[in-house]
Every structure is written in structure tokens, then in C-alpha cells.
A and B are shown apart, each in its own frame.
Chain A
Amino acid sequence: MINPYAIGKRIYLRSPAEKDIEGKWYEWLSNPEITQFLGDRYWPNSVEAQRAFYDSVKFSRDRLVLAICNKETDEHIGVCNLSSISWVHRHADIAFLVGEKKYQNGSAGIEIMALLLDIAFRRLNLLNLRATHVSCNPDTPLLLRIFGFKEVGKFEKFSNFNGVYADTIYSQLSRENWEMRNLPKK
């Protein structure tokens, strides 16, 4: 493992590195299949745009961006982040993207979510997380449900997906609810 920040059972998270910029990272964000449920997916990505993003987040304290890597091979398979972190209200947005196709159909998403929640609530001491997804995304509602997120609101017919206007749905997980499932009972 290279510079691991959070270690799971099959994957680990680390700070993005210069070498990631010219790797597959920028290509994932141009691929319509990979980005189909992302809000920001209409413009092609490039090495230059990826570098600008990397430069904008590498010292950021209101956005934590982490590379997702295979623990055995160090392969960079995706990217995840806690963004819009408010240190006053102690909340943030949570999101991840698995770019490498062979990892999209397995349990990687579950492990990424478990690691990110641990980082958010235990290491960064946040109190609330918000997740946003579109109603035509079949995977995310299940994932959020498993980890205890509660749907709290939506914008109806808010985003255009291939000609169909889908709802944008907001879900919330509080640290209190996360701890109820994850801390040993006294």
C-alpha cells in the first residue's frame, strides 16, 4: 500500500498523487457510462482539467478527496470525497465514483462507504452527512439504506437524464444513527 489513509479489507484510501492526474482518473470523468448518474458529466475531462482540480483540492480543508486503491495491487480504481465540509455546523456531502469497470459490480462500493463514514464521523468528528442521488440510479438508494441514510427531501423532475426528467433525492445520516449501529452496546 502507498501512503494509506484508511485501510479496508480489500481496498484502501489514500491522498491523490501527481501520477494519478495522467492515469485513468481524468478518463473516467469523460466516460458517459461511468458518469451517467453524476450531476457534472456533460463536458469532456482532460489532463489539464484534472490537474486544475487536483491543485484546487490538494490543500483544501473543506473538501477531502481520496483515491480508492486495490489493497493487493495498489491499482487506482476510483475516487471518493467528503465535500462542502462545514466546520461550523459539522456536516458534509458524501460521494464516490468507481471508475474501473471490473470493480463496479462487486462489493467495492460497500467498503468505500464504510471507510468514508468512519473517516467522517470518527476521524473528522462530523455530525451529519448528506448524500444526493437521482431517482433513475438503481444502486444508490439500496446502498444508502444499508448504511442507515434516511431520505429527507427531493427536487422533483429536476435533472435531465437522456430526455427523462428525474427527481434529485437528498438523504441524511447523523453520527448518532451511525453510532447506534457501530458502537458496541454498553
Chain B
Amino acid sequence: MNMLIKDQIKKIMSIVFEVDVNSIEDDSAPGTIENWDSIRHMNLIVSIEEEFNLRFSDDEITDLLSFKLVESIVSKKINN
């Protein structure tokens, strides 16, 4: 299940940031992905909400700043 979530998030990130899906790692973040700017960051949030049919709280939105954090928050929301 979590593997599937991980793969889905990586796929979304690769589309939003226009990078190879294999280049996305646990520590991928605005500092490591050049295209991770403010507009793409907001597109990432919208795309994840649509893909997983969920809504982030304001507190969660301010935390979505690396692949690992995105994966952790999405997994928690789906599994609750």
C-alpha cells in the first residue's frame, strides 16, 4: 500500500517538476530540485489533493516541503 503511495507521489512530482521520476528521492526538496518553485509547489499540493481525493489542513500545507514529508503526511491521512 505504502509503496503504491510512494510511487504515485513520485509520479506526480516528476510531472509537476518536470524531472525524471528516478531522480526523486526521500530527501528531494526545494533545495535539491531546481524546478521546485512557488508555483510548482502549489501545483504539487493541488495535484496530490486531486489524485488522493483528500484535503490538507493549513498546518499540513506548510509542512509539505520534501518528498519524505509529503509521503508521510499523505500516508497518515489515507490510513486514518
- Residue numbers of A with Cβ under 8 A of B are 8-9, 104-107, 109-111, 113-114, 117-118, 138-139, 142-143, 145-148, 178, 181-182
A148 to B58, CA, bound (A): 10
Q: Whole-angstrom distance from the CB of A137 to the nearest CB of chain B?
A: 11
Complex partner residue of B43 from A106, A118, A142, A182, CB under 8 angstroms: A142
Known: A104-B38, A181-B55. A146 touches B30 (CB 8 A): no
Q: Mark B10-33, 1 if CB is under 8 A from A, else 0.
A: 000000000000000000001000
Residue of A nearest to B30 (CB): A106
- Chain B 24-50 residues near chain A, CB threshold 8 A: 30, 37-39, 41-43, 45-46
Q: Using Cβ atoms and an 8 Å threshold, which residues of chain B touch A114?
A: 58-59, 61-62
B62 touches A146 (CB 8 A): no
Total interface residues in chain B, CB < 8 Å? 18
A111 touches B62 (CB 8 A): yes
Is residue B73 within 8 Å, beta carbon to beta carbon, of the partner chain?
no
Known: A142-B39, A142-B46, A143-B42. A182 touches B62 (CB 8 A): no
B42 touches A147 (CB 8 A): no
A182 touches B59 (CB 8 A): yes
B62 touches A107 (CB 8 A): yes
Q: Using Cβ atoms and an 8 Å threshold, which residues of chain A touch B55?
A: 148, 181
Complex partner residue of A182 from B37, B46, B58, CB under 8 angstroms: B58
B38 touches A109 (CB 8 A): yes
A107 to B43, CA, bound (A): 12
Is residue B5 within 8 Å, beta carbon to beta carbon, of the partner chain?
no
B57 touches A181 (CB 8 A): yes
